[in-house]
Chains A and B, each alone.
Chain A
């Protein structure tokens, strides 16, 4: 197992405000990592700083061993990182179909119909809304549309920010059952979530974030190995 995404001594913030304080985080291929912590303690900023959506960053971020600190977000999307953000970042005036298809922009555009069908199997509710502007969807449907758009990509690293936020428990549970089924293959998934119970049984490792720092790492109940630290030791041994 090799490390696919790594942040080293990463500090980031907005204007004069420093939100992240020298965070170290490594995610291995095939790993599902949960970021947990209170609101306002840096989970979202960590995911956004990987994509470059912060005012400033210091430290290092690598994808497959190559620095991506100066790589703009649209190139990261083409390189296979997809961020499914809080607030969804949908295109409100475009139809659900166009929103989903936009996910194929960075990947294989000709395969978008096939991929859309796959997404609609995961979220059948969207099938009835394809021609509707995304801005008229309910909160749960928007989240489905945002996740669906992310799944339309050729991504191998998924960064998902609080998918349960603001949703009724039943809808959130439904979304998480879809996420559990997500095939990441040799990629990785990093999921920020406040509700820890939603991560039980399928997340490999839980990283606790508090005050912009990593304050604890523990094996999740879906863990099968020791995570990237063990992977790195194994590589060094080889």
Chain B
């Protein structure tokens, strides 16, 4: 039961990070390696809001989300807009986002120093039991919040005009242009929403990942693993992949050792991609195209 709770908790948060990476990669052909630094920036944003504005959880969440969204906008302006459409766009944008990421990390070192910061418990210290298993408010709060936000993202993608534009762009960029969907406007929307999602995830994970300059690498890696496993651009695939990756992590920690988590997760992705190069989405798909 404890493993199940850990799995659902991690799956919910990894899913949020991965949706942003997946949509950016599939819709724009942009492997955003600055997602990790967005995560770190959001943690610092949440911490700064807590220290300077209020320690109310809503303010801490807002601090993380706003900084994440602003980081997404900066990535759009600094990397996407200048390089989009240029020769070797995909490689250049990947390298540029990595460069931006390094600049961000060293800026954090200069401004905040190498020490970890602490963010207060956001959901209180309440505990309750289900079937003999103790669940902390922190975990249940993270699961409920992440599920609600993921549902809102899916509803937004399915019911709004912008959502249709983003989904169309992930399917066929030329077809999207033919119906009047502007790549640059869609890119801004995708990167800002991805940044906000990374910010929200960062705050939810703030009791495991503390604000420090290098903290973004692991979430970036987990997000990439889930996005690749899920099949780029597929929301349902990403959600299922997040559950698979999180379950692998929970089982590995329980039965083997924490140090083997990345090994088992990378083994999982290797096996799935060998069988289905489109990942989970490839298994779900029944299209002729």
Listed in ascending order, the chain A residues whose CB lies under 8 Å from chain B are 51, 53, 72-75, 77-78, 82-83, 85, 89-94, 98, 101-103, 105-107, 109, 133-137, 149, 153
Q: Which residue of B is nearest A101, CB measured?
A: B164
Query: A77 is contacted by which of B171, B179, B183 (Cβ under 8 Å)?
Result: B179
Who on chain A is nearest to B171 by CB?
Answer: A91
Residues of chain B with a CB closer than 8 A to A134's CB:
289
Q: Which A-chain residue is minimally distant from B177 (CB atoms)? A: A73
Q: Please determine whether B181 and A74 come into contact, CB atoms closer than 8 angstroms.
A: yes
Give the residues from 169 to 188 in chain B that come closer than 8 angstroms, CB to CB, to chain A. 171-172, 174-183
Out of B175, B233, B286, name the residue touching A89 (CB < 8 Å): B175
Q: For chain B residues 159-203, which have a beta carbon within 8 Å of chain A?
A: 161, 164-165, 167-168, 171-172, 174-183
Whole-angstrom distance between the Cβ of A230 and the nearest chain B Cβ: 32
Residues from chain B with a CB closer than 8 A to the CB of A98 are: 164, 167-168
Which residues from 266 to 289 on chain B have a C-beta closer than 8 Å to any C-beta of chain A?
285-289
Q: Once the chains bind, are A105 and B172 in contact (CB under 8 Å)?
A: no
Residues of B within 8 A of A92 (CB): 171-172, 287-289
Q: Is the CB of B167 within 8 A of A94?
A: yes
Q: Assess whether B286 is in contact with A136, with CB atoms less than 8 Å apart.
A: yes
Taking the closest CB of chain B, its distance from the CB of A100, in whole angstroms, is 10
Are A136 and B172 in contact, with the CB atoms below 8 A? no
User: Which one, A74, A94, A135, contacts B288 given CB within 8 A?
Assistant: A135
Known: A73-B174, A90-B289, A105-B179. 16 other contacts (CB 8 A): A53-B174, A73-B178, A74-B176, A74-B180, A74-B181, A77-B179, A91-B176, A92-B171, A92-B289, A93-B167, A93-B285, A94-B168, A102-B165, A106-B179, A109-B161, A149-B179
Distance (whole angstroms) from the CB of A90 to the closest CB of chain B: 6
Contacts of A85 in B (CB 8 A): 174, 178
- Residues of A near B165 (CB, < 8 A) are 102, 105
In the complex, the chain B residue whose C-beta lies closest to that of A137 is B288
- Would A91 and B178 be within 8 Å (CB), given that A105-B161, A136-B286 are in contact? no
Interface size on B, residues (CB 8 A): 24
A93 to B282, CA, bound (A): 11
Could you tell me the distance in whole angstroms from the C-beta of B26 to the nearest C-beta in chain A? Answer: 10
Complex CA distance for A82 and B183, rounded to whole angstroms: 17
Q: Are A91 and B177 in contact (CB under 8 A)?
A: no
| Cα–Cα distance between A111 and B161 once the two chains are bound (Å) | 13
Min CB–CB distance A198 → chain B (angstroms): 23
Known A-B contacts A93-B287, A135-B289, A136-B286; A72 and B177 likewise in contact (beta carbons under 8 Å): yes
Known: A91-B172, A94-B171. A74 touches B289 (CB 8 A): no
The answer for the CA separation of A109 and B178 in the assembled complex, in Å, is: 16
> Is the beta-carbon distance between B179 and A153 smaller than 8 angstroms?
yes
B183: A residues at CB distance < 8 A? 74
- The answer to whether A77 and B178 have CB atoms under 8 Å apart is yes
In the complex, what residue of chain B is closest to A93 when comparing beta carbons?
A: B171
Residues of A within 8 A of B181 (CB): 74, 102, 105
A74-B180, A77-B180 are known contacts. Are A136 and B288 too (CB-CB below 8 A)?
Answer: yes
Contact (Cβ within 8 A) B287 A91: no
Looking at the complex, which one of A82, A89, A106, A135 makes contact with B174 (CB distance below 8 Å)?
A: A89
**Chain B neighbourhood of A105, CB < 8 A:** 161, 164-165, 168, 179-181
> Which residue of A is nearest B185, CB measured?
A74
A137 to B287, CA, bound (A): 9
User: What are the interface flags for B131-168 relative to A under an 8 Å C-beta threshold, 1 for contact and 0 otherwise?
Assistant: 00000000000000000000000000000010011011
What are 6 A-B pairs with beta-carbon distances under 8 A? A73-B174, A78-B180, A91-B171, A94-B164, A102-B165, A134-B289
Is A135 touching B178 in the complex (CB atoms < 8 A)?
A: no
CA distance A101 to B168 in the complex (A): 11
Minimum distance in angstroms from A8 CB to a CB of chain B: 24
Please tell me if the beta carbons of B164 and A89 are within 8 angstroms of each other in the complex.
no
Q: A74-B183, A105-B161, A136-B288 are in contact. Are A89 and B168 (CB under 8 A)?
A: no
Q: How far is the CA of A107 from the CA of B165 in the complex (A)?
A: 13
**Hey, which chain B residues are within 8 Å of A53, CB to CB?**
174
5 pairs of A and B residues whose beta carbons are closest in the complex: A106-B180, A135-B287, A92-B289, A89-B175, A135-B289
CA distance A107 to B168 in the complex (A): 16
Is B179 touching A102 in the complex (CB atoms < 8 A)? yes
**How far apart are B148's CB and chain A's nearest CB, in angstroms?**
24
